[in-house]
A and B are shown apart, each in its own frame.
Chain A
Amino acid sequence: MTEIISVNTFWTLWLLVHLVLAVSLLGALTHQAVAVMMPVRKVAGPGGFVSRFRAVPAAGYATAVCVLWLLTFFVGSYIYIKYRTFIRIPLEQAHYYKTQGFFDFKEHVATLGLVLLPVYWYFWKNAHDAEYDTPRKTATVLLAAMCWFLFIVGHVLNNTRGFGS
């Protein structure tokens, strides 16, 4: 592999894959969270951008969100090997303790989101049951907030020291 592309390019490509998956996940979860918090009931006349943004079949996103979260998590775990040795150590040496600490927290948040997926999926697949309305909303908004946090922290860390820098 190293004959075709450099080591830095290899890891940067994987980081891009991680990014694309994360953006897809972020979009799906944000649509779903807005739809569940502010559902569109009936609007006379043409709806605006916000109305169209939240007027999505939210239940259809559940499986995609689970799959995307899993893929993003495993790709992130794979590139974590490189982060651990080539990024984290220089960050420590440069005394970027807050950046590194937030990234440590990101790992925990991603794991906690991962273990929430079964119940999240179950709540959405039983969306006809009014008993699960509140937990479904809570789980969806919580996962969306987690995803935004993960995205921002990862983005800031990449700005601080990305692969190949």
Chain B
Amino acid sequence: MNTSANAGTGTAATTKTSTTRSTSSTSSLAASAKFRTFALTFSTSAPVIYIACLFFNWPLFTFHPVTNRLVFGWEGPRPGESGTGMVASKRNLIVIAAIAGGMLWIERGHRITIEIPPAEVAGSAAAACPENEDLPHSADCFNFLQGNVVSEVSERSDAVQSKLASPELGPACSSNNENVPYSASCLGFMFGWFRQANPENTP
């Protein structure tokens, strides 16, 4: 409410503002999408279930006061229980049914997609790899093949490859030339760096 006085004319004007949406949601429950689904489902299905329960006479339990007997569902009086006062509760049934319906409707929204990705997505990822195995594979292709998961094994493999290709080792073996002696690095590459020469054959 704002009150302002106009001194020049000597009149007072009172301005009142009232809106029905002045209070916003403050609780997490009101902001919850799950509660929204539950409330809408519960409040729309419960009246329908209630009318159906009334129409078909489906109670949750029946109470026979003569013998003080409580029965699940509907059951007529046994011999000796005849008389008035049998009470069949329908409200409990519709409340339980509506709550169950609301919860099921919430769970309906929880889905795990296990389908194959669309063709265009799969095609673009596969395009990272060459058609021919003789061509070099790019980093994107390796990521695609490994599912973007860098395992410990692949890390070790990368370490070995980078060590072999390091310039300090020099060229490994001469390719396609058996007429020249193997260098020490070539022997090391072929037999392993921890190979010990046979002392008997050593000149």
Chain A residues with a Cβ under 8 A of chain B: 35-36, 39-47, 51, 54-60, 84-85, 89, 108, 111-112, 115-122, 125-128, 130, 133, 136
> Which single residue of chain B is at the shortest CB-CB distance from A36?
B20
> Which single residue of chain B is at the shortest CB-CB distance from A116?
B43
Q: Does B202 contact A (CB under 8 A)?
A: no
Q: What's the nearest-Cβ distance from chain A to residue B69, in Å?
A: 17
Number of chain B residues whose Cβ lies closer than 8 Å to a Cβ of chain A = 37
Set of chain A residues within 8 Å of B23, measured between Cβ atoms: 57, 59-60, 127
Q: What's the nearest-Cβ distance from chain B to residue A50, in Å?
A: 12
Set of chain B residues within 8 Å of A42, measured between Cβ atoms: 15-17
Q: A57-B23, A120-B43 are in contact. List 11 more A-B contacts (CB 8 A).
A: A36-B20, A39-B19, A57-B18, A59-B20, A115-B46, A115-B94, A118-B38, A119-B42, A122-B30, A127-B24, A130-B21
Set of chain B residues within 8 Å of A136, measured between Cβ atoms: 20
Q: What's the nearest-Cβ distance from chain B to residue A130, in Å?
A: 8
Q: Which of B14, B18, B40 contacts A35 (CB 8 A)?
A: B18
Q: How far, in whole Å, are A126 and B33 apart by their CA atoms in the complex?
A: 12
Given A85-B85, A115-B46, A118-B42, is A51 in contact with B16 using a C-beta cutoff of 8 Å? yes
Q: Does B98 contact A (CB under 8 A)?
A: yes
Q: Which of A35, A43, A117 contacts B15 (CB 8 A)?
A: A43
Given A115-B94, A115-B98, is A128 in contact with B16 using a C-beta cutoff of 8 Å? no
Dominant SS among interface residues on chain A:
helix
Q: Does B87 contact A (CB under 8 A)?
A: yes
Chain B residues with a Cβ under 8 A of chain A: 13-27, 29-31, 35-36, 38-40, 42-44, 46-47, 50, 54, 84-85, 87, 91, 94-95, 98
Q: Is the CB of B13 within 8 A of A45?
A: yes
Q: Is the CB of B20 within 8 A of A119?
A: no
Interchain Cβ contacts under 8 Å between A and B, 15 examples: A40-B16, A41-B19, A45-B14, A47-B14, A56-B18, A59-B23, A84-B85, A111-B91, A115-B94, A118-B42, A119-B43, A119-B44, A126-B30, A127-B22, A130-B21
Q: How far, in whole Å, are A45 and B14 apart by their CA atoms in the complex?
A: 5
Q: How far, in whole Å, are A51 and B36 apart by their CA atoms in the complex?
A: 33
By CB atoms of chain A within 10 A, which of B18, B39, B84, B98 has the most?
B18
Given A42-B15, A44-B15, A118-B39, is A59 in contact with B22 using a C-beta cutoff of 8 Å? yes
Set of chain A residues within 8 Å of B20, measured between Cβ atoms: 35-36, 39, 58-59, 127, 136
Set of chain A residues within 8 Å of B95, measured between Cβ atoms: 115
> Which single residue of chain A is at the shortest CB-CB distance from B47?
A112
Q: Is the CB of B14 within 8 A of A128?
A: no
Q: How far, in whole Å, are A117 and B15 apart by their CA atoms in the complex?
A: 34
By CB atoms of chain B within 10 A, which of A58, A85, A130 has the most?
A58
Q: Is the CB of A57 within 8 A of B22?
A: yes
> Which single residue of chain B is at the shortest CB-CB distance from A88?
B84
Set of chain A residues within 8 Å of B46, measured between Cβ atoms: 112, 115
